[in-house]
Structure 1
Amino acid sequence: MKKLIILILIALVSSCTSTQLTDSWKNPDIETYAPSKVLVVGLTSNIEAKQKFETKLKEEFLMRGTDAYTSFEVFPKSFKTEKLTTNELDSLEQQLSQDGFDTIIFSKVVGSEDKIAYTKNFDVYDETFIKFKEDYLRYQDSFYNPEYYEEYTVYHAETSVFCICPTKDSGLLWKGSINIVDPQSIDKTVNDYINLIIETLEVEQLINPIALSTKKETS
C-alpha cells in the first residue's frame, strides 16, 4: 500500500513532464537515509547530456547541505574513454570510501522503443449502424496518411542509489525505472529527470528536503 501511494504521488509530479516513473524499489531494511558525500555518475555516450545531468544533480545535493561531486571531477581521465574491469571498479570503490564518499547515484539508459500515437480520435462515431465500407474508409487513413499518427521514441532509464558506507552494509538503497518520452531538448529532459529523482528520494526519505537542510545549517 505504501509503495502504491508513493507511485501515485510521483505520478502526479511527473504527469506534465517528459519523464515518467514506472517503478520504484526501496530497500526494506532502510527507513531513512541521509547521505553525507555523494558521487553522481551518468553512463551515456552523449558527453553533453552526461555533464549537464551530473552537474545539475550535484547542485541539488549541494543545496541540501550534502557534499557532492560528479564523475568528471573524481574519475581518472582514462575512465571516460575506456571500459572498466571488475578489479578497477573494486579499487575505485575502495578509494571512494577512503576519500569519505558514502553514496553513489548511478543513472543509465537501459533500452529504447519506437512508439506510434494516433492523432485522430474515432470514439466519437456511432458504432451501432456502421457498415464495413464506412469503417474501412475511416480507419485506413491511420495507416496511409502520416498526418494521422506521430512516431516517437521512449527511452527506458534507471537510477540507483548505492551505499558504500564503511560502517554499514554496502548495497542498493533504492532503484527507480524511468521512461523518457520523446525527448526534444537536453536541458528540459535533464531538468525533468532530476526533478523526478529528487521528488522521489524526498518522498522515500532518502535525502533531506531543502527546507530541512537549510534549517539545520542556520540552527
Structure 2
Amino acid sequence: MKKNLSILSLSLLAVMLSCSPSIKILGSWTGPSTPPEGYSNIFVTALTDNILARQTVETDLDNLLLEEGVNAESSFDILPPGFKSSGVDKEEVLRKIRELGSDAILTVAVLDQTNETRYVPGSTMYSPMGYGNYGRFWGYYNYYNPVMYDPGYYTTDKNYYLEANLYDAATEELVWSSQSETTNPSSIETFSRSFSTTIINQLIKDGLLAK
C-alpha cells in the first residue's frame, strides 16, 4: 500500500511540474550609459497582436514593478490594439510616454519558436525482499505486474525564445537586453507569471531598477 501511495505521489508531482513552464535566462547585457540610480518609472509594452497575451504580460510586469517600488505604465492607452508604427508620428508617441513620467521603456517580444521531439525512457522498479515474503504466485504477480515497468514514450517540447529590452525614454538608447527560453507553457497566465518574475529579478540583479 505504501508503495502504491508513493507511486501516486510521484505521478501527481510529475503532473504539477509539467504544468509549470520552464523559463531560463540565456543571457543579459547592460549598456555603459545606464544611470547608477536605476529607473523609477517604466513604460511596459509587449509586442504582439494577441491582445490577451499582451494585456496579461503587461499587467503582470506592471504589478511586479509596483511591488518593487517602481512606477509602471501599460502601453494600452498610448498604443491601442491594432496599433502600427508606420504612418505614426514617432515624436508624438514618445511625448505621450514621457508625459506619463516614464524614464525607461521595457519591450517584450517573441524571437522564435521551435518544436523538439525527444524520447523519455521507461523505468523498471525493483525492490529486493526475502523469499518468505513472496507468498503465492498470483498475489505476487497481481501486486507487481501493474507497477514493475513504465514504458518509454516520445514527447514534443515547444520552446519559445523571447527578448526583453529596456530603452532610456529620453535618449531612446538601448540600455539593457535579455534573452530567455520558455519550454512547454501550459497557458498564457502561468507563462506570464513565471516570465514576468524572471525578467524583474534579472532587472534587479543587473541594477536597472531604482531602490
TM-score (norm 1): 0.67
Give the equivalent residue in structure 2 for 1:55: 59
Label 1:88 to 1:18 Cα distance change in 2 as closer, same or farther (>3 A): farther
CA 1:17–1:184 in 2, change beyond 3 Å: closer, same or farther? closer
Equivalent residue for 2:166, pick from 151, 161, 164 = 161
Q: SS of 1:72's equivalent?
A: coil
Residue pair 1:112, 1:156 contacting (<8 A) in 2 also:
yes
- The 1:32/1:48 distance shift into structure 2, 3 A limit, reads same
Displacement after TM superposition at 1:99 (Å) = 3.9
Select the structure that is richer in helix. Answer: 1
Question: What corresponds to 1:181 in structure 2?
Answer: 183
Which residue of structure 1 lines up, in the alignment, with residue 27 of structure 2? 23
CA-based RMSD of the aligned residues comes to 2.4
1:203 Cα deviation from its structure 2 partner:
0.7
Which 4+ stretches in 1 moved above 6 angstroms?
Answer: none
Alignment of 1:55-204 (within 5 A): 55-75=59-79, 77=80, 80-85=81-86, 87-120=88-121, 148-165=153-170, 169-204=171-206
Higher alpha-carbon deviation: 195-204 or 98-107: 98-107
Q: How far did 1:97 drift?
A: 2.2
Distance 1:151 1:99 in 2: 44
Residue-by-residue CA offset, 1:121-166 (whole Å, 9 max, x unaligned): 79xxxxxxxxxxxxxxxxxxxxxxx95211121111100011113x
Q: Which runs of 5+ in 2 are unaligned?
A: 1-19, 124-150
Distance in 1 (alpha carbons) for counterparts of 2:122 and 2:175: 43
Q: Does 1:46 align with 2:47?
A: no
Question: Between the two proteins, what is the percent identity of the paired residues?
Answer: 24
Aligned residue runs from structure 1 range 28-39, under 5 A: 28-30=32-34, 32-39=36-43
Hey, what's the Cα distance between the residues in 2 that align with 1:196 and 1:95? Answer: 28
Matched to 2:202, the amino acid is: T
